[in-house]
Structure 1
Amino acid sequence: MPHLLLIPLIVAAVYLLAPRPSLAQTETPPVSQCQMIARALPSVTFASFSADPVLKVQAKADEEVRITYVGHSTFFIETPAGVRIATDYNGWYAPPALPDVVTMNKAHSSHYTLNPDPGIDHVLHGWDETSENGADHDVVVGDAYIRNVPTDIRGWGGAMEPNGNSIFIFEVAGLCIGHLGHLHHELTEKQYAEIGRLDVLMVPVDGGLTMGAESMSRVVQRLRSALILPMHRRGPPISQFLSMFGSGFDAVTDDDATVTVSIRSLPKRPTIHILSGV
């Protein structure tokens, strides 16, 4: 699937020229599998891993990842090594088991909680009010490498707040899995480059609470992911979102809320997979 995996050269060049924080001499972070030209990443926290995380994280591309739609913008990701991750965790939609990692965005209280279960080891906010550059996560937990790309967010008054949202990216089992969060604008060239390749894309399809279907469809088409998982549906029927795509995209409606995916089982053509509950 070369057309699904390659980033345009102009995007790669933008990323290469963008300033990036330097690494500490003693740190040896994993190389992002999603960023073709990445050679070094900002400081990485190896949160829980036995010997040699650089070699073991993302190592087995033939293994499967389970993704379950829980509700609203929450997916429950289970890695081959048993790491449990909940996206846009708010405490209302209970995942099948207590997560090891939760990610959050602050657009509405349905996307975060300030009182997560104390048994959750890693709580990653998609915003950072103490930094003008937004949140910055580079964390290895078990066989998962988790990072984020900040985007702006629309406030209650309509003005845009810099770096108030994050696109979280989960690299595991050779897959690049991206969650757009509460995305309020089309992405810049720099943001596309920072994201890199996304094999699996979790995308809001609310028709306007985040972005209109036309704008969101342009982001989806640009990212060209193999597996597209709609979420955050409010108001308009899913057919409105599907109507934005031509013959180059397939659509599947599933009676199950869970899909199991590996790098080898990805669809040959971009496929919008509508899980039960969406």
Structure 2
Amino acid sequence: MLRLSYAVFAVLGWLTTPASAQDIPRSECLAISQGSPRATPVNLRTAASAADEVAITYGGHSTYYIDTPAGLRIATDWSGTFRVGRLPDIVTMNRAHSTHYTLFPDPHIAHVLHGWGEDGQPAKIAERIGDVFIRNVTTDIRRYYGDYSSDEMIRDGNSIFIFEVAGLCIGHLGHLHHPLDDARYAAIGRLDIVMVPIDGTYTMSLDGISDITRRLRAAIVLPMHRFATPLDEFMRRIGQRFEIDVRTERSLKISRQTLRGAPTVIILDGV
């Protein structure tokens, strides 16, 4: 247990500098996933009322917008290309390709979070901004972007981002290039909603991403980075215990109280 706990915080980058317990940002999603099965996660289940809805909108490619109850707008894998509605207040980026980041974001964006670090160091993000807590779990990326069979990787070159808001744990897998080890699963913690790339080539194989989707066991799966992947092929691989819900809208509203009982893949318009 001690070794696993160390791995969790090492991945998150929280053991690199001394800090008091009060200085360490608290993740409710991690606290629940690592707690006793008999423990009741009171603060997440009671803190979010039915009115605390989060709106999630598909922008395009790997960009989803998350609008929080307090009015903050987050955009994932932001390059500035996939604009829907107003400018986001917070953007996250991954550098696997130029469609997932920009080095020249609109200066009116208040918070720009890179999924990669500088000088060979991993990105270390654990920030509370308004009503959302944002953290990252680093992953590796291929060194040669055009060679999808290459095994040469840049360590900690990208990040999985986790957004904790209104009692929900929302994960965005980014441009994921490899299976996740136990330490990364532990560092991700519990997810209610997960955004997964299903291109089957540029990121991971459909078998690989399906394995990860099943193990994360999120209540809602939001595909992205699809290209021409047949949706029924993805559904066949992740298994029959997932329902499928095809929407004609680009947005959905969700709260802790309205999460579905059965794991569901929701296909928003544009995916």
TM range (shorter): 0.7 to 0.9
Distance 1:209 1:61, change over 3 A: farther
Of residues 85, 95, 105, the one that matches 2:94 is 105
Match of residue 135 from structure 2: 147
User: Which deviates more, 209-218 or 25-34?
Assistant: 25-34
Structure-2 separation of matches of 1:162 and 1:137 = 17
**Native 8 Å contact 2:48 2:256 kept in 1:** no
Match of residue 31 from structure 1: 26
Distance 1:220 1:263, change over 3 A: same
Q: How many angstroms does 1:38 deviate by?
A: 8.4
Instruction: Describe the SS at the equivalent of 2:212.
Output: helix
User: Which deviates more, 254-263 or 29-38?
Assistant: 29-38
> Which structure 2 segments of 5+ residues have no match?
35-42
Of residues 92, 102, 126, the one that matches 1:138 is 126
Match of residue 248 from structure 1: 241
Of residues 153, 173, 176, the one that matches 1:183 is 176
Structure-2 separation of matches of 1:107 and 1:146 = 21
Match of residue 75 from structure 1: 64
Match runs of 1:1-278 below 5 Å: 15-18=4-7, 19=10, 20-21=14-15, 24-25=19-20, 27-36=22-31, 59-62=47-50, 63-132=52-121, 134-156=122-144, 158=150, 159-278=152-271
Residue identity in the other structure for 2:136: N
Distance 1:219 1:61, change over 3 A: farther
Residue identity over aligned pairs, in percent, reads 49
Structure-1 separation of matches of 2:118 and 2:176 = 18
Distance 1:27 1:38, change over 3 A: farther
Q: Could you list the per-position Cα deviations for residues 83-134 of structure 1 after superposition, in whole angstroms to 9, with x for gaps in the alignment?
A: 11000000111131111100000000000001100000100000013243x1
**Native 8 Å contact 1:31 1:38 kept in 2:** no
Q: How many angstroms does 1:59 deviate by?
A: 4.3
Q: How many angstroms does 1:37 deviate by?
A: 6.5
Size of the aligned set, in residue pairs, is 250
Residue identity in the other structure for 1:102: V
Residue identity in the other structure for 1:15: L
Tell me how large the CA RMSD over aligned residues is: 2.2
Q: How many angstroms does 1:60 deviate by?
A: 2.8
Residue identity in the other structure for 2:28: Q
User: Which deviates more, 139-148 or 92-101?
Assistant: 92-101
Residue identity in the other structure for 1:248: R
> Which structure 1 segments of 5+ residues have no match?
1-11, 40-54
Structure-2 separation of matches of 1:13 and 1:164 = 27
Q: How many angstroms does 1:26 deviate by?
A: 8.7
Residue identity in the other structure for 2:103: L
**Native 8 Å contact 2:33 2:189 kept in 1:** no
Q: How many angstroms does 1:31 deviate by?
A: 2.2
Structure-2 separation of matches of 1:99 and 1:204 = 22
From the two aligned structures, give the one with the greater helix fraction: 2
Structure-2 separation of matches of 1:262 and 1:13 = 34
Structure-2 separation of matches of 1:97 and 1:14 = 45
Residue identity in the other structure for 1:114: L
Structure-1 separation of matches of 2:135 and 2:223 = 21
Residue identity in the other structure for 2:154: E
